[in-house]
Amino acid sequence: MRVLAVDVGGSHVSCGAVDDRTLLEVVSIESDGKGSLKNLLPVLAETLMQLAKRHGGNFVGIGFGFCGLVDTTAGRVVSTNHKYSDATSVDVTSWAREQFGLPLVLENDTRMALLGERHSGAASGSDNVVMVTLGTGIGSAAIMEGTLVRGRHFQAGCLGGHFTVVLGGRRCSCGAQGCFEAEASTYALPEICGTWPGFETGPLSREKKLDFATLFSWADRGDSVATAVRDRCVGIWAACALSLVHAYDPELFILGGGVMKSSFPILIAIQQHVDSYAWTPWGNVRFCQSQLGETAAIVGAVPLLQIHLSQR
Amino acid sequence: MRVLAVDVGGSHVSCGAVDDRTLLEVVSIESDGKGSLKNLLPVLAETLMQLAKRHGGNFVGIGFGFCGLVDTTAGRVVSTNHKYSDATSVDVTSWAREQFGLPLVLENDTRMALLGERHSGAASGSDNVVMVTLGTGIGSAAIMEGTLVRGRHFQAGCLGGHFTVVLGGRRCSCGAQGCFEAEASTYALPEICGTWPGFETGPLSREKKLDFATLFSWADRGDSVATAVRDRCVGIWAACALSLVHAYDPELFILGGGVMKSSFPILIAIQQHVDSYAWTPWGNVRFCQSQLGETAAIVGAVPLLQIHLSQR
């Protein structure tokens, strides 16, 4: 099956063409992640046209991953989180029909990435798997007994970043307090550091861009605030993984997202925590990094279209 | 369908006989909840025999609810939590065949209670529902799209009391730290109060039995420690409900367990929190109390046997 794909994530946008398990090409598109989805459509259309032309056509549909709550049946974005806030009023299904004469399936971006990892990545052959992406926010997705977890209103599985981990904690972009995402994600990091005791007088306060790469780098150089914030964030991520293991009972846990590119052994720290504390008498959940990285959602367009076409 | 039922919960044991949606009789059995399941079997057998005799026989099977992790397919208790620690070595399926010549289906007690509420209680007709029981511990169960959530190792849905809500918090009976259950349940309450600033000099320190009824009663009389602990526990329960809404995407949320018998408006407080903070653009999750109370799991034996017999 040959499909076109779009991935509109929290911090990156890309288009791609996939032939079953072969990624034919992926093209990154500049975006600030805060703009308008409507304004993004022309460049997406142009890019997909060029991809189709370069790779010989015969594409059966378009898989469209979006960083928000998505009603897959209606083909509509239901809710966004300060990213592309016009997305709920954009009808991408009609857009695809008019522009390409192709069916389009819309899905949450992390769910689509997990479908991709299962199709030809870290989760090949696994029917019980959870994926978490650590980046701008914290995304999650789950497959249970071979079925992608979506729930009645398409919200199950993808809101793992919004379980409460700190009672009365930091205000999250979703409106609640103390969500995993509010306590340890790239968008929250400047505020987390800024309110940490000792921040003002340390080297972090002189950084223009406070992301996890910068934080880990200062921790490596022995800065006490950077080390403390790093250890706390790793603790939050480990608790998030533990909670998701208890929620969805997976055999395999995939960690992805930009933060995982860091040299700090995040995966080992999380695995050790879950090995020690998960209530899993059957054995240990296996942890691994995303294999497909930023192309996971693009590859996920193939199984997404397969599910869609099999249900018609 | 006529079934016999056993419910071995954290703080009570009962046997019952059910004819489809009609509870014929339920019999409570004295138990300290810490003893041996093997030693409990003779009295369970005797009680079920008498129930069968009084209600005319023709029972097709036995549903057996147990307060621990249960492998329904193998018919074995997989793990217990300091309650009936011999249960993993007790073969209740063989016991039922030998004693009654009947098939027995073993299930987690909260899952069985949720099946009961859906069969003829608060969740009648609902295909997307989460149940939480607040009592000795915190039990949970979920039905998604009409299917009881069990997961690969029968652990999904029932471990909502063991998501992390306090990083590095109280040691839980499961071994982890800061689980919802460790931060707000009857077994944890004496320790929570005992370490609360001001406890030693207040009226709670003179109580022999420190349960939520006692706590709420002192809070009603204006004791500041009791009020603070009560408000914190309600906050923990509200965060637990919010996390479970985000995990399983229900339309309906049932609250049960002994703590809900209190006059304090726990349900309203939890509902208000979830109404305010759940990321549910489709609307509000409906909250209600368990209708069947301590008989929910007994009634759940009917749908449990129905699922079992339909899968053979």
B53: Cβ contacts below 8 Å, ≥ 6 apart:
none
**Shared-domain flag, residues A265 and A157:** yes
**Shared-domain flag, residues A249 and A159:** yes
DSSP B71-110: ETTTTEEEE-SSSSTTGGG--HHHHHHHHHS--EEEEEHH
**Shared-domain flag, residues B303 and B247:** no
Point out the residues of chain A with pLDDT beneath 50: none
Indicate the pLDDT class of residue B34, thresholds 50, 70 and 90: low
Q: For residue A214, what are its two tokens?
A: 């910068």
Provide the pLDDT for residue B227: 97
Nearest residue to A109 via CA among A82, A80, A147: A80
**Shared-domain flag, residues A74 and A216:** no
Task: Tally the C-alpha atoms within 13 A of residue B273's C-alpha that lie toward its C-beta.
Answer: 23
Mutate to test the interface with A, among B69, B127, B155, B270 (most CBs of A within 10 A): B155
**Shared-domain flag, residues B50 and B169:** no
**Shared-domain flag, residues A104 and A228:** no
Element (H, E) at A3: strand A2-8
**Shared-domain flag, residues A197 and A286:** yes
Provide the pLDDT for residue B262: 85
Provide the pLDDT for residue A79: 93
Provide the pLDDT for residue A32: 66
Give the distance from residue A2's alpha carbon to the nearest chain B alpha carbon, in angstroms: 31
Provide the pLDDT for residue A82: 78
B220: Cβ contacts below 8 Å, ≥ 6 apart:
B264
**Inter-chain residue contact A280 with B235, CB threshold 8 Å:** no
pLDDT for residue B32 is more than 70 = no
Provide the pLDDT for residue A277: 97
Provide the pLDDT for residue A34: 65
Give the distance from residue A182's alpha carbon to the nearest chain B alpha carbon, in angstroms: 14
Which residue, chain included where needed, has tokens 């150089």?
A: A221
Provide the pLDDT for residue A10: 79
**Inter-chain residue contact A281 with B235, CB threshold 8 Å:** no
- When divided into structural domains, chain B yields a total of 2
pLDDT digits (tens, 9 = 90+) for B124-154: 999 999 999 999 999 999 999 999 999 999 9
Give the distance from residue B101's alpha carbon to the nearest chain A alpha carbon, in angstroms: 30
Indicate the pLDDT class of residue B83, thresholds 50, 70 and 90: confident
DSSP B125-149: T-SSEEEEEESSSEEEEEEETTEE-
Nearest beta carbon to residue B279 from set A162, A247, A278: A162
B21: Cβ contacts below 8 Å, ≥ 6 apart:
B119, B120, B299, B302
Nearest beta carbon to residue A152 from set B128, B156, B235: B128
d(CA A238, CA B228): 29
**Shared-domain flag, residues B77 and B136:** no
**Shared-domain flag, residues A146 and A264:** yes
Of A99-103, A302-306, B7-11, B248-252, the poorest mean pLDDT is in: B7-11
Taking CA atoms, what residue in A is nearest to B165?
A: A165
**Inter-chain residue contact B250 with A152, CB threshold 8 Å:** yes
Taking CA atoms, what residue in B is nearest to A232?
A: B167
How many helices (H) and strands (E) are present in chain B, helices listed first? 9, 12
Give the distance from residue B297's alpha carbon to the nearest chain A alpha carbon, in angstroms: 22
Q: What are phi and psi of B171, to 5 degrees?
A: -65, 130
pLDDT digits (tens, 9 = 90+) for B164-185: 999 999 999 999 999 999 999 9
Domain containing A68: what range?
2-116+294-311
**Shared-domain flag, residues A41 and A139:** no
Chain B residues whose CB is inside 8 A of the A278 CB are 176
Angstrom CA distances, A270 to A237, A253, A266, B168, B180, stand at 7, 10, 6, 14, 20
Q: Mean pLDDT, to the nearest integer, of B274-289?
A: 97
Secondary structure letter of residue A172 according to DSSP: P
pLDDT digits (tens, 9 = 90+) for A193-247: 999 999 999 999 999 999 999 999 999 999 999 999 999 999 999 999 999 999 9
Indicate the pLDDT class of residue B33, thresholds 50, 70 and 90: low
**Shared-domain flag, residues B307 and B167:** no
B1 three-class SS: coil
d(CA B260, CA B288): 11
Element (H, E) at B53: helix B37-54
Taking CA atoms, what residue in B is nearest to A157?
A: B247
Contact A180, A169 (CB under 8 A): no
Q: What CATH number does the domain containing B225 carry?
A: 3.30.420.40
Q: What percent of chain B has pLDDT over 70?
A: 99
**Shared-domain flag, residues B157 and B283:** yes
Radius of gyration from C-alpha coordinates of chain B: 19
Q: For residue A156, what are its two tokens?
A: 């199950």
**ipTM of model:** 0.97
Which region holds residue A178: left if phi is over 0, alpha if psi is between -120 and 50, else beta?
A: left
Radius of gyration from C-alpha coordinates of chain A: 19
Task: Tally the C-alpha atoms within 13 A of residue A156's C-alpha that lie toward its C-beta.
Answer: 27
pLDDT for residue B78 is more than 90 = yes
Which residue, chain included where needed, has tokens 């995939």?
A: A254
Contact B138, B184 (CB under 8 A): yes
Give the distance from residue B27's alpha carbon to the nearest chain A alpha carbon, in angstroms: 32
Tell me the angle at which helices B92-100 and B37-54 cross, rounded to the nearest 10 degrees.
40
